[in-house]
Chains A and B, each alone.
Chain A
Amino acid sequence: GNSVTQMEGPVTLSEEAFLTINCTYTATGYPSLFWYVQYPGEGLQLLLKATKADDKGSNKGFEATYRKETTSFHLEKGSVQVSDSAVYFCALDATSGTYKYIFGTGTRLKVLA
Protein backbone atom coordinates (compact mmCIF):
# COMPACT_ATOMS: atom_id res chain seq x y z
CA GLY A 1 0.00 0.00 0.00
CA ASN A 2 0.91 3.66 -0.06
CA SER A 3 2.97 5.02 2.83
CA VAL A 4 5.20 7.88 3.91
CA THR A 5 8.06 7.57 6.39
CA GLN A 6 9.59 10.62 8.05
CA MET A 7 12.56 10.94 10.35
CA GLU A 8 11.60 11.04 13.98
CA GLY A 9 11.93 14.27 15.85
CA PRO A 10 12.30 16.46 17.56
CA VAL A 11 15.03 18.17 15.57
CA THR A 12 16.72 20.94 17.51
CA LEU A 13 18.95 23.42 15.68
CA SER A 14 20.58 26.74 16.35
CA GLU A 15 19.52 29.74 14.30
CA GLU A 16 21.22 29.89 10.86
CA ALA A 17 21.97 26.15 10.88
CA PHE A 18 21.29 23.92 7.86
CA LEU A 19 18.12 21.85 8.00
CA THR A 20 17.36 18.46 6.50
CA ILE A 21 14.21 16.49 7.28
CA ASN A 22 14.13 13.11 5.60
CA CYS A 23 11.07 11.70 3.88
CA THR A 24 10.78 8.47 1.92
CA TYR A 25 7.70 7.00 0.35
CA THR A 26 6.12 3.85 -1.02
CA ALA A 27 3.44 4.23 -3.64
CA THR A 28 2.01 2.62 -6.73
CA GLY A 29 2.19 4.64 -9.87
CA TYR A 30 3.72 8.11 -9.96
CA PRO A 31 2.61 10.12 -6.93
CA SER A 32 2.75 13.84 -6.36
CA LEU A 33 4.69 14.79 -3.21
CA PHE A 34 4.05 17.57 -0.71
CA TRP A 35 5.44 19.20 2.40
CA TYR A 36 3.06 20.83 4.88
CA VAL A 37 3.93 22.93 7.92
CA GLN A 38 1.92 23.21 11.13
CA TYR A 39 2.61 26.11 13.48
CA PRO A 40 1.50 25.80 17.12
CA GLY A 41 -2.26 25.91 17.51
CA GLU A 42 -2.91 26.05 13.76
CA GLY A 43 -3.91 23.76 10.94
CA LEU A 44 -1.53 22.46 8.30
CA GLN A 45 -0.41 24.77 5.51
CA LEU A 46 0.94 23.67 2.16
CA LEU A 47 4.64 24.57 2.03
CA LEU A 48 5.75 23.15 -1.32
CA LYS A 49 5.07 20.37 -3.78
CA ALA A 50 6.55 18.42 -6.70
CA THR A 51 4.50 16.47 -9.19
CA LYS A 52 7.05 14.47 -11.18
CA ALA A 53 10.50 12.96 -10.89
CA ASP A 54 13.41 15.42 -10.60
CA ASP A 55 11.05 18.35 -9.94
CA LYS A 56 12.17 20.71 -7.18
CA GLY A 57 9.56 22.41 -5.04
CA SER A 58 10.54 25.57 -3.20
CA ASN A 59 8.95 28.18 -0.95
CA LYS A 60 10.12 30.54 1.83
CA GLY A 61 13.71 29.28 1.50
CA PHE A 62 12.71 25.62 1.82
CA GLU A 63 13.43 23.17 -0.98
CA ALA A 64 12.72 19.52 -1.74
CA THR A 65 13.60 17.44 -4.80
CA TYR A 66 11.50 14.51 -6.01
CA ARG A 67 13.95 11.57 -6.29
CA LYS A 68 12.25 8.60 -7.88
CA GLU A 69 15.36 6.41 -7.81
CA THR A 70 15.59 6.68 -4.01
CA THR A 71 11.83 7.27 -3.45
CA SER A 72 12.67 10.31 -1.37
CA PHE A 73 11.55 13.92 -0.95
CA HIS A 74 13.83 15.41 1.70
CA LEU A 75 13.12 18.92 2.97
CA GLU A 76 16.07 21.33 3.20
CA LYS A 77 16.72 24.91 4.22
CA GLY A 78 20.08 26.60 4.19
CA SER A 79 19.62 28.84 7.24
CA VAL A 80 16.79 28.28 9.67
CA GLN A 81 15.19 30.96 11.81
CA VAL A 82 13.39 30.79 15.15
CA SER A 83 10.15 31.44 13.26
CA ASP A 84 10.62 28.13 11.39
CA SER A 85 9.90 26.21 14.59
CA ALA A 86 6.92 24.03 13.71
CA VAL A 87 5.90 20.49 12.80
CA TYR A 88 6.59 19.44 9.21
CA PHE A 89 4.57 16.78 7.42
CA CYS A 90 5.50 14.96 4.24
CA ALA A 91 2.55 13.75 2.15
CA LEU A 92 1.88 11.97 -1.10
CA ASP A 93 -0.99 11.81 -3.54
CA ALA A 94 -0.83 8.43 -5.23
CA THR A 95 -2.49 7.54 -8.50
CA SER A 96 -3.94 4.30 -7.14
CA GLY A 97 -4.59 2.47 -3.91
CA THR A 98 -7.34 2.56 -1.30
CA TYR A 99 -6.21 5.75 0.43
CA LYS A 100 -4.45 7.90 -2.04
CA TYR A 101 -3.55 10.98 0.01
CA ILE A 102 -1.23 9.88 2.82
CA PHE A 103 0.52 11.97 5.48
CA GLY A 104 3.66 11.11 7.37
CA THR A 105 3.72 11.25 11.15
CA GLY A 106 5.33 14.69 11.24
CA THR A 107 8.72 15.97 12.41
CA ARG A 108 8.92 18.66 15.06
CA LEU A 109 11.58 21.32 14.48
CA LYS A 110 12.76 23.59 17.26
CA VAL A 111 15.13 26.43 16.40
CA LEU A 112 17.02 28.11 19.23
CA ALA A 113 18.16 31.73 19.13
Chain B
Amino acid sequence: GAVVSQHPSWVICKSGTSVKIECRSLDFQATTMFWYRQFPKQSLMLMATSNEGSKATYEQGVEKDKFLINHASLTLSTLTVTSAHPEDSSFYICSAAPGEATNEKLFFGSGTQLSVL
Protein backbone atom coordinates (compact mmCIF):
# COMPACT_ATOMS: atom_id res chain seq x y z
CA GLY B 1 0.00 0.00 0.00
CA ALA B 2 0.92 3.64 -0.31
CA VAL B 3 3.36 4.91 2.27
CA VAL B 4 4.02 8.37 3.58
CA SER B 5 7.26 8.80 5.46
CA GLN B 6 7.66 11.60 7.99
CA HIS B 7 10.87 12.59 9.75
CA PRO B 8 11.90 13.15 12.41
CA SER B 9 9.59 11.33 14.82
CA TRP B 10 10.75 13.32 17.81
CA VAL B 11 12.40 16.69 18.15
CA ILE B 12 13.50 18.45 21.30
CA CYS B 13 14.89 21.92 20.73
CA LYS B 14 15.64 25.14 22.51
CA SER B 15 13.36 28.11 22.25
CA GLY B 16 14.27 30.32 19.28
CA THR B 17 15.60 27.59 17.03
CA SER B 18 14.01 26.43 13.79
CA VAL B 19 12.89 22.90 13.14
CA LYS B 20 12.30 21.27 9.76
CA ILE B 21 9.94 18.34 9.32
CA GLU B 22 9.93 16.30 6.13
CA CYS B 23 7.05 14.43 4.57
CA ARG B 24 7.71 12.08 1.67
CA SER B 25 5.37 9.98 -0.42
CA LEU B 26 7.41 6.85 -1.07
CA ASP B 27 5.56 5.10 -3.85
CA PHE B 28 3.24 7.66 -5.34
CA GLN B 29 3.25 11.25 -6.49
CA ALA B 30 1.36 13.70 -4.32
CA THR B 31 0.27 16.96 -5.89
CA THR B 32 -1.25 17.96 -2.58
CA MET B 33 -0.13 17.30 0.96
CA PHE B 34 -1.76 18.43 4.16
CA TRP B 35 -0.15 19.49 7.41
CA TYR B 36 -2.01 19.02 10.70
CA ARG B 37 -1.22 19.89 14.31
CA GLN B 38 -2.62 18.08 17.31
CA PHE B 39 -2.39 19.27 20.91
CA PRO B 40 -2.94 16.77 23.74
CA LYS B 41 -6.51 15.52 23.90
CA GLN B 42 -7.47 17.74 20.98
CA SER B 43 -8.46 16.99 17.43
CA LEU B 44 -6.15 17.18 14.45
CA MET B 45 -6.32 20.73 13.18
CA LEU B 46 -5.46 21.47 9.58
CA MET B 47 -2.69 24.04 9.38
CA ALA B 48 -2.13 24.28 5.67
CA THR B 49 -2.52 22.64 2.31
CA SER B 50 0.74 22.21 0.47
CA ASN B 51 0.61 22.37 -3.31
CA GLU B 52 3.49 21.21 -5.49
CA GLY B 53 5.09 24.07 -7.33
CA SER B 54 2.97 26.79 -5.76
CA LYS B 55 2.39 28.54 -2.47
CA ALA B 56 0.75 26.72 0.37
CA THR B 57 -2.76 27.62 1.47
CA TYR B 58 -2.86 28.37 5.17
CA GLU B 59 -5.85 28.00 7.45
CA GLN B 60 -7.12 30.99 9.36
CA GLY B 61 -5.00 31.75 12.39
CA VAL B 62 -1.90 29.94 11.14
CA GLU B 63 1.06 32.26 10.62
CA LYS B 64 2.58 31.58 7.23
CA ASP B 65 5.83 33.30 8.15
CA LYS B 66 6.24 31.11 11.19
CA PHE B 67 5.27 27.83 9.59
CA LEU B 68 7.11 27.72 6.28
CA ILE B 69 5.96 25.10 3.83
CA ASN B 70 7.89 24.03 0.77
CA HIS B 71 6.54 21.50 -1.72
CA ALA B 72 9.29 21.50 -4.31
CA SER B 73 8.62 18.08 -5.76
CA LEU B 74 5.76 15.64 -6.15
CA THR B 75 7.15 13.44 -3.40
CA LEU B 76 8.38 15.87 -0.78
CA SER B 77 6.86 18.58 1.37
CA THR B 78 8.62 20.23 4.28
CA LEU B 79 7.29 22.20 7.22
CA THR B 80 9.72 24.49 9.01
CA VAL B 81 8.74 25.86 12.40
CA THR B 82 10.76 29.04 12.61
CA SER B 83 11.89 30.50 15.93
CA ALA B 84 10.05 27.81 17.83
CA HIS B 85 8.63 28.60 21.27
CA PRO B 86 7.21 26.34 23.98
CA GLU B 87 3.66 27.01 22.77
CA ASP B 88 4.61 25.43 19.44
CA SER B 89 5.16 22.11 21.21
CA SER B 90 2.69 19.77 19.59
CA PHE B 91 2.26 16.68 17.42
CA TYR B 92 2.65 17.59 13.74
CA ILE B 93 1.45 15.20 11.10
CA CYS B 94 1.32 15.26 7.33
CA SER B 95 -0.92 13.46 4.92
CA ALA B 96 -1.03 12.94 1.19
CA ALA B 97 -3.21 11.40 -1.47
CA PRO B 98 -2.11 9.93 -4.75
CA GLY B 99 -3.23 11.78 -7.86
CA GLU B 100 -6.95 12.15 -8.21
CA ALA B 101 -7.73 9.96 -5.24
CA THR B 102 -10.56 10.92 -2.94
CA ASN B 103 -10.11 11.80 0.71
CA GLU B 104 -10.74 8.18 1.57
CA LYS B 105 -7.34 7.34 0.15
CA LEU B 106 -5.49 9.85 2.27
CA PHE B 107 -2.34 8.43 3.80
CA PHE B 108 -0.74 9.81 6.92
CA GLY B 109 2.85 10.14 7.97
CA SER B 110 3.75 8.77 11.39
CA GLY B 111 3.86 12.24 12.92
CA THR B 112 6.48 14.38 14.61
CA GLN B 113 6.35 15.18 18.31
CA LEU B 114 7.95 18.58 18.83
CA SER B 115 8.98 19.68 22.28
CA VAL B 116 10.37 23.20 22.62
CA LEU B 117 12.19 23.88 25.86
Do A and B bind?
Answer: no
Q: Which of A's residues lie within 8 Å of B, judged by CB?
A: none
Residues of B within 8 A of A (CB): none
